[in-house]
Structure formats: C-alpha cells, structure tokens
Chains A and B, each alone.
Chain A
Amino acid sequence: MAAEVKLTFKDFKSDQEVRWCAGCGDHAILNSVQKAMAEMGIPKEKFAVIAGIGCSSRFPYYMNTYGFHTIHGRGATIASGVKVANPDLSVWVINGDGDGLAIGGNHFIHLNRRNINLNLLLFNNEIYGLTKGQYSPTTKEGTKTKTSPYGTIEQPFNPGELVLGAQGKYFARTIDVNMKLTQEILINAQKHKGTSVVEILQNCVIFSNGVHGFYTDKENKLDRQIVLHHGEKMIFGKNNDKGLVLDGLKLKVVTLGENGITENDILTHDAHEETPFLHWMLIAMKGPDFPIALGVIREVRTTTYEQKMEDQIAEVKAKSPIKNMTDLLHSGSTWTV
C-alpha cells in the first residue's frame, strides 16, 4: 500500500452536475462512497469505478477517479478485465438490479465464482429506473409496474442467495439512508480480498417509492432491522431485547427475558464461517416475521483469482527457457536451408 494519503470526500467529487431526481437514494450512496473512499488511505488515481447502464450506473461521472460508464449488464466483466490486467487498482462496480441481475446476471454469478478482488455495489430499487418503471428481477411478486399492470407473476431473486449459490465469499447489505453503516461496510469490503458484493437497498422516489419502507420506517426500523457484526450477538430491537436463535433447522426471533432466554442463548455472528447455511438463513430473512439482516453477513477469506493468475505466470516464467519472441519462433522443430 502506498504511503499515507490524506484525502477528503471533496477530492472525490467530479465537476459534473449530479442528475438524479431530487430525493433519489443514489445521492446518499454517492456521498457515502465518497466519504468512505477518503478514509481508505488509497491514492485517488488507484480507484477505477466501472458501471453498466441505468440511473445508478451514472455514478462514475460523479466521481473524480478513473471511471468507465460502459454498456448495460457488462460492468462486472469490464471491471474483471481491469482488475486482472492491473491488480494494483481498487476496482468498484456499480450495478442496478436490472443491470446486475437481469442482463448481467450471468456475469454476476461468474464473477462471484471466480472471486476476483473487486467491490460490487448493487443498487437495489426493485425497479428499472432509467427506462421508467418496468419490473426487475428483484421486484416482489404481485407488484404492479408498467410492464406488469396486473401485478408481476415472477418470483424475485434475493441477490445474497445468488452470491451464495455462486460460491461467493462476501456479501453485505445496507440501506441508502443509513450512511454510517454504508461507509463502514464499504471500508470493510475494500479490505476484503475477493469479490465483495454489497447490496444497497435504494429508494427510487419516482417508480418504486417506499419499496423498502417497511424496513426504513422511522418508528419501527429498529425492530425490523438487525445489523450484524462479526463476533457479536445477534441482538436487535428498539429496546435491544430481541435476538435470533436456532430452532431446529430454522431461525427464530426471541425476546430476552421471556421464557428464560438470556444473552447466552442468542446466536453469535460468524461472518468468517465457510459453510453457507446460517448465512443463507440470515440473508433470506424478511418481514414481518423477521428483521432484515444488514451489515457484513459473509466474509470468507481465500486466494483471489488474479493472485492465482499472477502466481501461475511467475511460476511458468521462472521455468520456461523461452524468454522472448525470438526464442519462441525458434522453439520446436525447425530446419535451416
């Protein structure tokens, strides 16, 4: 890592006017990213921010870093090429839910499988914003949108489940309005070596206003969210009196002090556990029976794709007697006239 660099969030603001609708959750996310990046101790020129197409994908234009606004769905593969070509960069992918999980769904799973060391921010507003309001792969079944005037008849993806299914090693979830948590997660994601997927529940004020309202509702949010921290008890609630326990093969919400439940009975979060089953259950939790899980849910360390590639190259280079083009041209069977 380069010598200590002192940057502030202003260093990350580009000269471009931000064009998202007033009240769009993307504004808050942009602020969180700029603040978090300033904290990372990485020089500005080492950041590459890569996006596909969508409202959210306008992101790179607003960042005073290297940036690439690419084509719909391909942010992840373009970023893979950037990172593999230059492992020294801190690479960030910005995906909408349509961009990353519909047209780019194939790339999304393969990125996780390969475990390339980059950070993917999935802006989940459960709608196609840029094209003005069609349902997306994360839209809840039954939702009425422009392309589902009578309600969708499709089951939505849960992005975290896809990550697990694709043998992903890192998954975190946050909410646009919770900027402190978002920054904390982004800094953690940057440190994680491997593909870090961060789902950000984002509000689209125009086409899906309030989709996450159940969880963000001011009155009740503390009862409806649980923020997980590695090594800490899974406790939540307005009065910090609710917790998660295993009941057979399922999770259950309990209240401390009721039925003799004490803190000792509550599960402790282990983000580093490789077997995905508990992570899976945490990711799948939803209201009204369960709180939604936020924070770093899974963080398993292994070697990254680009590290393995660099190692292979070094090994072959050391062994091969063929050092340059002339050697190669004269290798194998040749004859002289």
Chain B
Amino acid sequence: MTNKIDKVIELDHVVIRFSGDSGDGMQLTGTLFSDTSAFMGNGISTFPDYPAEIRAPQGTVGGVSGFQVHFGHDINTPGDYADVLVAMNPAALKANAKWTKLGGSIILDKDAFTAKNLEKAGYKTDDPIKEDNLGGFNIISAPISSMTQETLKDTGMDNKTILRSKNMFALGMCYYLFNRELTFTEKFIETKFKKVPAVIEANKKVLKAGYNYGYNVQELTPYKVAAEEISKGTYRNINGNTATAWGLVAASEKSSLPLFCGSYPITPATDILHELAKLKNFGVKTFQAEDEIGGVTSAIGASFAGNLAVTTTSGPGLALKGEAIGLAVITELPLVIVNVQRGGPSTGLPTKTEQSDLLQALYGRNGESPVAVIAASTPSNCFHYAFQAGKIALEHMTPVVLLTDGFLANGTQPWKIPNMEDYPEIKAPIAKEGTENYMPYLRNEENLVREWAIPGTPGLEHRIGGLEKMDKTGAVSYVPENHQVMTDLREEKVARIIADVPDLEIIGEDEGDLLVVGWGGTYGHLLTAAHDMQKEGKSISFVHFNYIKPLPANTKDVFKKFKKILVAELNNGQFVNYLRSMFPEFTYLQYNKVMGLPFTSIELMDNFNKILEEK
C-alpha cells in the first residue's frame, strides 16, 4: 500500500511516543512500529517507559505505559521530545504532553475521554486541551475505540475482546502517517496468534481500518522519513540487557569455560538473569541465590572451581557485594560484576537511569581494593563490553565491574550481527597438570597475572583465602613490608590491563575550544549534541570513555589539546572528580543532572554553547 496523496512532509528523523494504560498494549505497538521501521531501512532507537507499580489503578497517571521510537537518519538516542504522541486515554495525555514538541501532533482516542476517565487522570474540567494549554499542538481526536468496535461488529466477538485490538487501529493510523508497510506486522500477528485464526483476522482488519482511517481524514499529512545509510549485513534488534547476557555467553564460548551466574533479582538488572536462565543449551548455570551476597559468593566459588563466573545486579546489590568483591581482589580470582545503574541512594528510583554508582564501583570496598571498571555506551555494545569484561577478568585474574544503566538496559537498537570469528579466543592462565612446585601467587612478569589451578587437577592442591599472603607461595603473612608489596602488586596488576585498552577516539577535530567528555550510557545524547554543533561550525570535539580503570593510554594527550574540558554525566560529578585525581594538571568544567532521566541533546547544546561563549 502506498499513499495516493502527493502532499508529504520530509523529515530527517522523527520521534513517536505511544502511550496508554498499561493494559493497552503500548509496548507491543511500539515494538511493532520500530521493527517495521528498522526493516524499512531507518535507523532506530527505542525506549520503554513502564509504570513503576505493577498494577497501578487503571486510567490513572501512575498506570500509564509508554514506548518511544526514534527513527530516521543518524539516530543515536531514543529522541528528546516526541513529534507525534499517541495517547489512548486522558491519563496518557496528562503524563506525556510535556514530552511532546511544541507544534507536534497528538493522536487521541476520543472515545476514552469520558468524564470518568478525565477525572481519574486528574483533570478538573472536561477540556484537557485547554486545561493543559495544548493549543499549540496539532490535536487529532480520532474515535479509535468506536471505529474498532465498528470494524469488528460482525465477528461475534465480545466487546472486551474487540477493544483489545484498538492498539492496532492506532498503529494502522501511524503506519499511514509514516508510510509504513503493513506486511511485517501482519506476519507478526499471524505467528503470534497461530492457534486462534479469528484473532488474526480481527487484528489485521483493525490494523487496516486504522490505516484507511488515516488516509480518509484530512488532518493527517503523511511524512517521509530519511533512511539510514546502512552497511550491508544481517541485523536484529537488541536491548542492553539481552546484549549483556549474550556477550557473557560469547566470552564463555571463546574461553571454552562454562558460564556460571550467581545473582539475585533487582530492577533494572533482572532481565540479564532471565536471559541467562533460558540459555541452558549453552550449559549456562544460573543460581538464584537468597540475597546478593549469596549471588556474588556463589560466583566466587564457581570461579575458584574454574568457571567463568558472573554476578549481575544494580546499585543496592553492588553495595551488598562489596566485601565479597574484596575477597576476589585479594585471592585474585576472575569475576565479572555487572552493575546496571539506577537512581539512588537506597531504593531511590528503581526504574530510572543514573550514573551514580561509578565511585562505588571504583572504591566501594574496604581496604585498597582495585578492580577493573568498564562501561558500555549503547544498548548493542553491551555485547562487546560484556565480552571484554569476561576477557579481562579471565586473562588478568581479576574482578571486573561492567557498568551499564537503566537507559541502556531497556533501550533497543538495530544491531548488525557480529561475526563470531572476528572475536578473539580468550586465554585464561590455567595451570597445567604436572606443573612442578605450583605456587598460587607466582606471577607472569609481564602482566603480573598468577596461574589458576583448578580444583580436581592432581598435584596442584593449594589454599587461598582472604588473609594477606606472601607473594608467590600464598602463605598467610602479617609481615608489614609484605602487605605493602602485595598492595602495590594488586594495584599494578590492574594498571597493566592498559595494554588491552584501546586509545580514545576523538569525534571531531583533535584540538580546539571545547572538548566534551562523557562515559557510559550518555554516549548517544552527547554524540548528537556534538554532531549538531559541529555542523554549525562550532569548535567542539567529543571523547567518550568505555574504559575507566585503567583509563586509555592517550587520555592525557587528548586532553592537552583543548582550551576547555567539560565532563557531562548523570550524577553530581563522579567521573570528573576521578579525572581530577588522575590528571590534576587540567581544569575541568562539569555538567551534571540527577533527575533519573537521560540528558536531552537540546539541554546539552544549550550548555555547550554557553561555555563556548564564555571567555
């Protein structure tokens, strides 16, 4: 189907936000829209916005579920503000109008705007448009529920079942609006409801009815959205948590060591455990412990026994794991700790994103307790960095903290499927049977890594533990000088991981007025802001850190060439203070936000422009 209307608006990229009651199927609607767009060659990035309560009362703002899709050309984030908002009820409008661009379109289900629903959503009058001052928007008030009922009136289905398809009507309207093919969604419906042909028919009918409705009403001007210049290959959509789980399995495959994950459920990290629990076909062992301490310690046990051991968590869980991570530090056992950051302190904002666990990852343990810290920066590169976390842990016999965040964890992105042959083998320093006079803390001189003797290997019986030990022999030692030696060795061992850390890549000129510095999940927003300003001819460059301890070798050389350095992060300045301690010779400006929300590219640009203007 194509549009027969010649009037179209051409856009580089568009943000559409589907919102409705949590029972309205908005996550599915958004996913189908984004899959279709990816399939049609757009770049996409998506972000779901679930209600915090599992069963918030129907029709209230607390129960609104949203799904934002950003598609088009040069897409790095799910977008700041929506060009098009779909609001299936008054609560959805109330919750999301503020996230819509002034002048954007708002599609409403007119039938849901009853007095009762308006009241539930907290409106005081019967005119939400006026009440919320939405005069500047293009309001398309469509009878979505009644048209759905009309379309299916002869099917003999009951009203409740019929209304379950109303999201398809809204989706159909959007497909018209953005000139999308229906085939991908039709196929999806056919597979999903294979067993109930009546439901397949109903959904397809409603989808088409929505599309036709869009075609027939005058208020809708279709858009043409730019395609991405996409390199050849096979693609799939992936979110950060799945990518993390898969990256760990990839590290297991490339190291030929079984994967063990000891964990305790916590938002927003739990999906990693869910995903790993499914992957028993890879021999993955998941152990849902009685608490986070049990999670990390069972993983340490598995590591002692020779597995690639992982524990997954979020901030509060990382706090509980601290003492045990110190045990892995002093015993020099490989361990991957995935921390999906969320708003803190305490329970904080479990479903919201933040970057405020950086210092906890670096320093949140008793004693001098160095671990490697790395951070993923897009949903799909969680795969790569999870793989790297496994590789560094195994090859350097050290705990590695992988930081992601709620934004990466739940965001999706099309991902060009990597070729596993491009991934290196991981070579853990396993002590061989027959090693004479095995000493657990004898080190490789180059990288200071000890050999790992796996229980069960004849002749290599040995004891390790949390007490300070002599270098080489591992015998318990309270000698003051030895403690200094061991403390320094453990620090230096982590420092030498630098040999495996790639140099920073500068986006933009390698010298100039302003260098924007970011790390972790803010990459897309910072990149968009930097790109847009570079297009305007501003002297701004951008570097993003994925390796935090140790830092890339060229960090200082990159910093040297800029008049101003600004570190932007979603906390009160944790990375900037770390950089201040590592490279005190530079002056750092900072831009911080702690609202449980990602940056918007707009606020970043405002701030960067201001800094460029200041003398």
Contact = CB atoms under 8 A, between A and B. Distances in A.
A60 B440 CA distance: 15
B281 A85 contact: no
A328 B249 contact: yes
A81 B306 CA distance: 10
Nearest to B475: A16
Given A81-B297, A85-B306, A337 B466 contact: no
Given A81-B302, A88-B456, A309-B285, A325 B249 contact: yes
Given A50-B301, A333-B236, A336-B235, A89 B455 contact: yes
Nearest to A327: B281
B234 A335 contact: yes
A89 B294 CA distance: 20
Contact of A78 (B237, B298, B306): B298
Contacts of A328: 246, 249, 279, 282
A82 B301 CA distance: 5
Nearest to A306: B285
Contact of B283 (A65, A79, A106, A313): A313
Interface residues of B, number: 67
Given A69-B465, A71-B327, A317-B280, A78 B253 contact: no
Q: Which of A64, A88, A324 has the most chain B CB atoms closer than 10 A to its own CB?
A: A324
A78 B285 contact: no
Q: Which of A16, A67, A77, A84 has the most chain B CB atoms closer than 10 A to its own CB?
A: A77
Given A81-B287, A316-B280, A337-B231, A66 B462 contact: yes
Interface string A293-312: 00000000000000001001
Contacts of A14: 463
Contacts of B236: 329-330, 332-335
Interface residues of A, number: 57
B417 A329 contact: yes
A89 B456 contact: yes
Interface stretch (A41-49, A190-198, A265-273): A41-49
A68 B230 contact: no
Q: Which of B235, B258, B281, B290 has the most chain A CB atoms closer than 10 A to its own CB?
A: B281
Contacts of A335: 38-39, 234-236
A326 interface: yes
Contacts of A79: 301
Nearest to B333: A68
A336 B417 CA distance: 10
Contact of B300 (A53, A81, A322): A81
Contact of A44 (B258, B279, B324, B461): B461
B43 to A, nearest CB: 12
B233 A337 contact: yes
A74 interface: yes
B311 to A, nearest CB: 10
Interface in B220-234: 230-234
A86 B456 contact: yes
12 contacts: A45-B460, A66-B461, A81-B309, A85-B309, A86-B454, A309-B285, A324-B420, A325-B249, A326-B419, A328-B246, A335-B38, A337-B232
Which A-B residue pairs are the 6 nearest by beta carbons?
A: A81-B301, A69-B465, A320-B281, A81-B298, A85-B302, A67-B463
Given A68-B301, A86-B454, A337-B233, 5 more contacts: A66-B463, A68-B304, A84-B285, A86-B456, A334-B417
Interface of A: 14, 16, 43-46, 48, 50, 53, 60-61, 63-71, 74, 77-86, 88-89, 106-107, 110, 309, 312-313, 316-317, 319-320, 322-326, 328-330, 332-337
